[in-house]
């Protein structure tokens, strides 16, 4: 919504209010100011009166004008604009005027003819562009006095304020509406607007036209009609429409636009030139409610859907000689539902009608009459046709105590009443704490005491409300969400310590990409209807693709290594959500530095696993049976925590690396839930010495350590406290077998171990591995 100072001044005398006060007040009452711009017309540009205008002797397109630029001062100025021929008063930049930083008007000779100044166009004055040619001045901007500096014409050098209105303030979609709200805040009364028609056609409208409404027409309508001889808009119209970026070449459209922007009343114009009243033809307007949409028909032809749109061919245009004007109002709530349910096409006025346009239609018609008779050589028919739906007034009971409770400051009852009265609420005075208020019809947004309180807050100004700290009862508010948050924070801190950068990526991805790499997909019946782009057409079922893409981007910025992690949400086929901790490490094992002569080794399985271990702590790796497209079949593993599979890590398949332009790359994805620290109970610590013992087996190459480990654990040997692999060795001599060395640690809670205890444990293991895998001690 754009307003200008002088336009506002039509309804509210703000001549004593500074721009700064205006800016602060608008913001304070919730009409947020986006920008405030004051047009300044450079000095020495004055009103000039064209005395004569003749063709340049040597140039077809130039005219030589004699222009009066002050009492008795006439200058010869050469002008190139075609429309100078029709002009009487123009903007003249005199010698010495500066139009921009390095453009000063000087004496000039144009094709041999002296020129002492320049006739300016709107854009040359720094005003918005208003079509071709020079700016032709008229009295709509004020009395034209030859030689007067143009900057003194405040309607030209206006201040433009762009407001960002919230969705509830349809009542402020007009100059009058903004003025009305400002009036309460600035405590300045609105100027009365009342206009009686001075000069009408003799024929009464009711004699030639008739309005028939169905009983369920839940709207208000008012019609006026005019014979149009000439519809020439004034400079002020065009200028203001340019200020609000609504200027068009169609004079009727401009006229309606100007009216609606000024009054807030929705006005439309129908071309009824074809109806010959002299030949006794009549005009009949009928309304019909069809599934909640009010159809307007003129002589049985449907011309508009009230508040929604108008048939293109029914619109009045510059050729129309007879025009029917319609002011209308529909309750916004009723049309938004209808439009959405029936998916109706709307035009630009729908924005106003759906947010609540001005219901006082006679104001719009009176303003129309005033403009018509002030500026146009056209006449209106006598009287109007109108229909107005009966609506009950909205009355809300206001309790002073409740208002004060919501605000938290004491506001005297008189102040509350005065504010509401200033906002045109009708107050039923009462000596009680509670009193009734009638809400003005244009305030569609006011429905309860909280809304009324907001009005009081707006006008008092939030800055004037004293802040008070809340007294509250302390309470233990820790819960699982908090536990999870701190677990995530801890995990992130360890990942960062291990050299990974934290990444955030979109929860969206490309369905075909997931398919290509054999990841699960969200069931098609549950997928996104309106994706933002094809790359983001589904929910991700893994974060790893996002991380690979990020790594690829980094490579393209000449990064040799990238380590990233993300904790985020992924989805499964049924769209259930799960948080995972995902990591990628690509390129070199460590940074290039003095210790590795600038040639660090590429990252490998071992170094990646070590990094993961430093972040998530204890885990086991088992050969993975998972087969998504990223997985390297011989360097991938399931991650096991507390005997539960909770994720995997893998070297990225070479062909995937190729696609993403990556060198050696490793990734891991682990369920976040499995990484939340669990409660731990301490077990008894033995007071006796323990014994380490190494065993080397020759065993089938294809049997992974994890299998051996599970087998030994299944024996549940009481003395065996821990064991781990310390060496694995393969060579040709061993053939299909390998040598695997285990280190055992044995300890008893009760006494020092003797040889027999040790041998029993060791032999049980040897026998078991022999039976299970044919493993032989080396």
Partner 1 sequence: METLEQQINDANSLAELEKVRIELFGKKGTLAKEFAKLKDVPGPEKKAFAESLNKNKTTLQNCFDERYEILKKEEIEKRLKAEAIDVSLYGNLDKKGAYHPVMATMDKIIDYFVALNFSIEDGPKVEDDFHNFEALNLPKNHPARDMQDTFFFKDGAVLRTHTSPVQIRTMLQQKPPIRMIAPGAVFRKDYDITHTPMFHQVEGLVVDVKGEINFANLKAIMSDFLRYMFGEVEVRFRPSFFPFTEPSSEVDISCIFCEAEGCRICSHTGWLEVLGCGIVDSNVFDAVDYKNVSGYAFGLGVERFAMLLHKVPDLRMLFEGDTRLLEQFR
Q: Which of 5, 180, 355, 651 binds partner 1 (CB under 8 A)?
A: 355
Q: C-beta of 439: minimal distance to partner 1 in Å?
A: 14
Q: Which of 465, 613, 726, 777 binds partner 1 (CB under 8 A)?
A: 465
Say if CB 314 and CB 304 are below 8 A apart.
yes
Say if CB 620 and CB 605 are below 8 A apart.
no
Show contacts of 524-527: CB within 8 Å, 24+ apart: 526/574, 526/575
Q: Which of 223, 329, 500, 666 binds partner 1 (CB under 8 A)?
A: 500
Instruction: Output 196 or 463, the one with its CB closest to partner 1.
Output: 463
Please identify, among the stretches 450-458, 687-695, 710-718, 762-770, the one whose residues bind partner 1 according to the rule CB under 8 A: 450-458
**Whole-angstrom distance, CA of residue 686 vs CA of residue 80:** 106
> Per CB under 8 A, does 29 bind partner 1?
yes
Total binding residues toward partner 1, as defined by CB under 8 A: 103
- The set of residues, in sequence order, having a beta carbon less than 8 Å from that of 421 and lying 6+ positions away, is 427
**Whole-angstrom distance, CA of residue 537 vs CA of residue 528:** 7
C-alpha angle 492-495-497 in degrees, rounded to nearest 5: 110
**Whole-angstrom distance, CA of residue 292 vs CA of residue 308:** 12
Report whether 451 belongs to an annotated binding site.
yes
Beta-bridge partners for 670: 581, 647
> Per CB under 8 A, does 457 bind partner 1?
yes
Report whether 68 belongs to an annotated binding site.
no
> Per CB under 8 A, does 720 bind partner 1?
no
Window 566 to 605, contacts with partner 1 (CB under 8 A): 566, 568-569, 571, 575, 577, 590-591, 593-595
- The set of residues, in sequence order, having a beta carbon less than 8 Å from that of 601 and lying 6+ positions away, is 588, 589
> Per CB under 8 A, does 30 bind partner 1?
yes
Q: Which of 478, 618, 643, 754 binds partner 1 (CB under 8 A)?
A: 478
- The set of residues, in sequence order, having a beta carbon less than 8 Å from that of 568 and lying 6+ positions away, is 504, 505, 507, 543, 579, 580, 582
Instruction: Output 132 or 593, the one with its CB closest to partner 1.
Output: 593
Report whether 751 belongs to an annotated binding site.
no
Please identify, among the stretches 120-128, 495-503, 696-704, 743-751, the one whose residues bind partner 1 according to the rule CB under 8 A: 495-503
> Per CB under 8 A, does 19 bind partner 1?
no
- Cα atoms found within 13 Å of the Cα of residue 159, Cβ hemisphere only: 17
- Determine the distance from the C-alpha atom of residue 317 to the mean position of all C-alpha atoms in its chain, rounded to a whole number: 36
Q: Which of 532, 613, 714, 726 binds partner 1 (CB under 8 A)?
A: 532
Angle between helices 235-243 and 251-263 (to 10 degrees): 70
**Whole-angstrom distance, CA of residue 260 vs CA of residue 350:** 12
- The set of residues, in sequence order, having a beta carbon less than 8 Å from that of 690 and lying 6+ positions away, is 721, 745, 746, 747, 753
Window 412 to 441, contacts with partner 1 (CB under 8 A): none
Instruction: Output 225 or 459, the one with its CB closest to partner 1.
Output: 459
DSSP 69-105: EETTEEEEEEE--GGGGG-SEEEEE-TT-B-STT-B-
> Per CB under 8 A, does 468 bind partner 1?
yes
Window 74 to 133, contacts with partner 1 (CB under 8 A): none
**Whole-angstrom distance, CA of residue 276 vs CA of residue 267:** 24
**Whole-angstrom distance, CA of residue 89 vs CA of residue 85:** 11
Q: Which of 290, 395, 496, 728 binds partner 1 (CB under 8 A)?
A: 496
Q: Annotate each residue in 161-180 with x if it binds partner 1 (CB under 8 A) or - if it does not, as one string.
A: -----xxxx-----------
Report whether 312 belongs to an annotated binding site.
no
Beta-bridge partners for 723: 744
Q: Annotate each residue in 541-560 with x if it binds partner 1 (CB under 8 A) or - if it does not, as one string.
A: -----xx-xxx-xx--x-x-
DSSP 731-755: -GGGTTEEEEEEEEEE--SSS---H
Please identify, among the stretches 531-539, 620-628, 666-674, 732-740, the one whose residues bind partner 1 according to the rule CB under 8 A: 531-539
Say if CB 112 and CB 34 are below 8 A apart.
no
> Per CB under 8 A, does 487 bind partner 1?
no
Q: C-beta of 20: minimal distance to partner 1 in Å?
A: 12
> Per CB under 8 A, does 660 bind partner 1?
no
Please identify, among the stretches 253-261, 422-430, 463-471, 638-646, the one whose residues bind partner 1 according to the rule CB under 8 A: 463-471
Instruction: Output 195 or 536, the one with its CB closest to partner 1.
Output: 536
Instruction: Output 31 or 259, the one with its CB closest to partner 1.
Output: 31
Strand 45-56 with 59-70, pairing: antiparallel
Please identify, among the stretches 31-39, 62-70, 72-80, 322-330, the one whose residues bind partner 1 according to the rule CB under 8 A: 31-39
> Per CB under 8 A, does 749 bind partner 1?
no
Q: Which residues are annotated as a binding site?
A: 445, 451, 454-455
Q: Which residues are annotated as a binding site for Mg(2+)?
A: 445, 451, 454-455
């Amino acid at each position: 919504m754009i307003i200008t100072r002088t336009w506002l001044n039509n309804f509210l005398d703000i001549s004593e209010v500074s721009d700064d006060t205006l800016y602060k007040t608008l913001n304070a009452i919730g009409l947020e100011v986006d920008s405030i711009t004051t047009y300044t017309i450079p000095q020495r540009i004055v009103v000039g009166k064209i005395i004569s205008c003749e063709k340049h002797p040597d140039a077809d397109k130039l005219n030589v004008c004699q222009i009066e630029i002050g009492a008795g001062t006439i200058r010869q100025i050469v002008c190139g604009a075609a429309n100078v021929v029709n002009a009487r008063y123009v903007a003249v930049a005199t010698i010495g005027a500066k139009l921009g930083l390095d453009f000063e008007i000087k004496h000039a000779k144009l094709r041999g003819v002296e020129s002492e100044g320049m006739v300016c166009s709107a854009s040359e004055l720094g005003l918005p562009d208003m079509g071709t040619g020079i700016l032709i001045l008229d009295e709509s901007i004020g009395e034209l006095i030859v030689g007067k500096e143009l900057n003194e014409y405040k309607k030209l050098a206006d201040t433009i304020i762009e407001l960002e209105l919230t969705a509830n303030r349809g009542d402020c979609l007009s100059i009058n509406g903004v003025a009305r709200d400002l009036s309460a805040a600035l405590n300045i009364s609105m100027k009365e607007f009342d206009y009686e028609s001075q000069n009408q056609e003799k024929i009464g409208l009711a004699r030639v036209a008739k309005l028939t409404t169905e009983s369920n027409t839940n709207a208000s309508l008012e019609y006026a009609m005019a014979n149009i001889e000439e519809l020439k808009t004034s400079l002020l119209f065009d200028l203001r429409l340019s200020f609000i970026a609504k200027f068009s070449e169609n004079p009727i459209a401009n006229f309606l636009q100007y009216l609606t922007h000024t009054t807030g009343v929705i006005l439309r114009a129908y071309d009824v030139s074809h109806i010959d009243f002299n030949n006794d033809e009549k005009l009949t307007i009928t309304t019909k409610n069809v599934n909640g949409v009010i159809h307007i028909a003129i002589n049985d032809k449907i011309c508009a859907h009230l508040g929604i749109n108008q048939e293109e061919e029914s619109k009045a245009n510059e050729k129309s000689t007879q025009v029917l004007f319609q002011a209308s109002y529909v309750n916004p709530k009723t049309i938004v539902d209808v439009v959405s349910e029936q998916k109706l096409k709307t035009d630009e006025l729908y924005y106003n009608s759906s947010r609540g346009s001005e219901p006082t239609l006679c104001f719009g018609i009176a303003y129309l009459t005033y403009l018509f008779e002030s500026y146009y050589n056209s006449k209106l028919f006598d009287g109007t046709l109108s229909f107005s739906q009966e609506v009950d007034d909205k009355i809300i009971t206001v309790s002073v105590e409740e208002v004060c409770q919501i605000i938290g400051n004491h506001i005297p009852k008189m102040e509350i009443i005065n504010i509401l009265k200033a906002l045109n609420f009708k107050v039923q005075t009462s000596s009680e704490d509670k009193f009734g208020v009638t809400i003005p019809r244009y305030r569609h947004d006011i429905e309860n005491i909280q809304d009324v309180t907001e009005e009081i807050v707006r006008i008092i100004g939030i800055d004037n409300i004293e802040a008070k700290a809340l007294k509250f009862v302390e309470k233990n508010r820790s819960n699982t969400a908090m536990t999870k948050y701190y677990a995530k924070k801890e995990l992130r801190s360890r990942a960062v310590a291990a050299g990974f950068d934290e990444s955030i990526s979109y929860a969206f991805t490309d369905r075909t990409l997931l398919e290509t790499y054999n990841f699960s997909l969200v069931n098609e019946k549950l997928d996104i209807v309106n994706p933002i782009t094809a790359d983001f057409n589904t929910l991700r079922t893994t974060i790893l693709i996002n991380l690979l893409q990020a790594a690829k981007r980094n490579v393209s910025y000449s990064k040799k290594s990238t380590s990233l992690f993300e904790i985020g949400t992924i989805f499964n086929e049924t769209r259930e959500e799960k948080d995972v901790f995902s990591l990628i490490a690509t390129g070199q094992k460590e940074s290039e530095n003095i210790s590795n002569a600038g040639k660090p080794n590429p990252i490998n399985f071992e170094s990646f696993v070590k990094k993961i271990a430093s972040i998530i702590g204890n885990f086991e790796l088992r050969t993975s049976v998972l087969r998504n497209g990223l997985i390297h079949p011989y360097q991938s593993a399931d991650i096991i925590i507390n005997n539960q599979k909770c994720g995997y890590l893998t070297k990225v398949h070479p062909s995937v690396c190729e696609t993403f332009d990556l060198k050696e790359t490793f990734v891991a994805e682990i369920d976040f839930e499995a990484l939340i620290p669990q409660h731990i109970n301490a077990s008894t610590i033995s007071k006796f010495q323990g014994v380490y013992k190494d065993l080397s087996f020759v065993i089938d190459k294809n049997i992974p350590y994890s299998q051996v480990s599970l087998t030994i654990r299944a024996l549940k040997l009481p003395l065996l406290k821990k064991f781990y692999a310390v060496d694995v060795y393969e060579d040709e001599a061993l053939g299909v077998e390998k040598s695997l060395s285990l280190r055992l640690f044995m300890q008893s809670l009760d006494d020092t171990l003797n040889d027999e205890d040790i041998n029993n444990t060791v032999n049980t293991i040897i026998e078991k591995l022999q039976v299970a895998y044919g493993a032989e001690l080396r």
